[in-house]
Structure 1
Amino acid sequence: MKQFIEAGEFVTTHGVMGELKLYPWCDGPEFVAALPRLFFTPEGGRETKVEAVRAHKGMCLVKLKGVDSIDAARPYIRKVAYFSRADVKLPEGRYFVQDIVGCTVKDADTGVEYGVITAVEHPAAIDVYTVENSGGETFLFPAVPEFLDTLSPEQGVVTVRPIPGMFTNDGGNDDAD
Structure 2
Amino acid sequence: MYQKHTKEEWAKAYELHKDGYDSPSISRLTGLELSEIKRHIRLYRQTGYWQTERKPNVRATPSLRKAVIDAVVKKSLSYAEVIAKYGISFTSLGTWLRKYRHGGYEELLATRPRGRPPKMNKTKPKRTKGMSELERLREENEYLKAENAYLKKMKALDQEESAGMFGIGLKSSTN
Structure 1 length-normalised TM: 0.24
User: What TM-score, normalized to structure 2?
Assistant: 0.25
The structure with the largest strand share of the pair is: 1
- Answer 1 or 2: higher relative contact order, Cα 8 Å, separation at least 6: 1
